[in-house]
Structure 1
Amino acid sequence: MDFRLETFLPYRLNQAAERVSQRFAAQYRARYRMTRPEWRTLAALGTYGRMTATEIGVNSSMHKTKVSRAVRALEEKRWLKRSENADDRRIEHLVLTAGGRRIYDEMIELARAYQAELAHLLGEDGLARLEAGLAAVESGLPAATAWRGPSD
């Protein structure tokens, strides 16, 4: 039996996710000059509040170098700030600034509009089937490292 990459489920899931992600990335890149790691970092901080770079990496499945670059870029844009942990100076806590929170709020509206666009493109039945399929994958294959929320 021949192996066909285009029918291999992990390949298909990756390709589908990449199409969906790239289409959204084009919107925030044009509006905010933001990379995908920057968006993921901003979204994590906006959603969960104060986090460390390590927590962001685990939460978003990003390598620490990508997180580090994203943190630096967001800091340069003055959208996040760092603070040292009083007990362990090697640890930095990251939070959004007021400007970062404003951008996050705008991005959430952009994300909602994009999700509505995807729902329209897929149709009610297609969206329901996709969500059921994703739920089956997520429940059948738990993440190797579960993220439990920000530490204090």
Structure 2
Amino acid sequence: MARSGEARRRETAGRATAQAASELDLQQYFPYRLARLAEQVSLAVAEVYSERFSLTRQEWRVLAILGAHQQIATKEIGPLTTLDKMQVSRAVQGLETRGIASRKQHPDDRRELIVSLTSAGRALYRKIVPYARERETALLAVLTAEEVEVLDRAMRKLSAALT
């Protein structure tokens, strides 16, 4: 029995849909696009702390966390910075070597270290923050105020859905 033209079109469309579902255009794939954007933003901000202040990305993240806390346990830094334990350790060691941060043993758990900024570290933090804020403002300047709010809400929603 001959199939109608409509049935053939539906079958062809179904195959095309199935094929499209099994293929992936990386350039249009949301997680990849987001990762690329995050990397682009990170590199743009890196110009602030890397070129001017000779800090690595990991050192900058740790410095930023330490700037917001009087002191913090090293195990708490990782989740706040998306750095793993080894990256945190290296960053803290680099900051300590340069006199920016200091470490001491936790009074209740001698295996844990407490990190804080030295006075030189606090001064450096206060020096970098205006540059970092300026870069953030420049990056967001391409968006309207409403778009910034929508972006913020969308980021919060996605983050909440993934935790």
Match of 1:83 in 2: 104
Task: Output the TM-score relative to the length of structure 2.
Answer: 0.80
- Percent sequence identity over aligned pairs: 33
Q: Is residue 128 from structure 1 mapped to residue 146 from structure 2 by the alignment?
A: yes
Report the alpha carbon displacement of residue 52 of structure 1 after superposing the two structures with TM.
1.3
Paired with 2:44 and 2:159, the residues of 1 have a C-alpha distance of 26
Which residue number corresponds to residue 87 of structure 2? 66
User: How has the CA–CA distance of structure 1 residues 7 and 130 changed in structure 2, closer, same or farther, with 3 Å as cutoff?
Assistant: farther
SS in 2 for 1:93: strand
Alpha carbons of structure 1 residues 17 and 140: separation in structure 2 relative to 1, 3 Å: closer
Q: Which residue of 1 aligns with 2:50?
A: 29
Report the Cα offset of residue 32 of structure 1. Answer: 1.1
CA displacement at 1:128 relative to structure 2? 3.2
Q: Is contact 2:48–2:132 with CA below 8 Å preserved after alignment?
A: no
Between the aligned partners of 2:121 and 2:67, the Cα distance in structure 1 is: 8
Task: Give me the whole-angstrom Cα distance separating, in 1, the residues matched to 2:46 and 2:67.
Answer: 17
Deviations 1:15-64 (A, max 9, x none): 11111110110221111110000000000010123111111101111111
Unaligned runs of 5+ in 2: 1-19
Counterpart mapping for 1:1-152 below 5 A: 1=20, 2-120=23-141, 122-123=142-143, 125=144, 128-142=146-160, 143-144=162-163
User: Which whole-Å CA distance do the structure 2 matches of 1:139 and 1:63 have between them?
Assistant: 24
AA in 1 matched with 2:104: S
Larger Rg: 2
Instruction: Find the aligned partners of 1:86 and 1:133 in 2 and give their Cα distance.
Output: 42
Change (3 A) 1:44 1:13: same
How many corresponding residue pairs? 141
| Inter-partner Cα distance in structure 2 for 1:15 and 1:103 | 29
Quote how far apart the aligned CAs of 1:133 are: 2.9
CA distance in 2, matches of 1:7, 1:49: 43
Question: Comparing both chains, which one has the higher relative contact order based on Cα–Cα distances under 8 Å and sequence gaps of 6 or more?
Answer: 1
Instruction: State the one-letter code of the partner of 1:48.
Output: H
Query: Partner of 1:149 in structure 2?
Result: none
Using the TM superposition, give the Cα deviation of residue 130 of structure 1 relative to its aligned residue in structure 2, in angstroms. Answer: 4.4
Long gaps (5+) in structure 1: 145-152
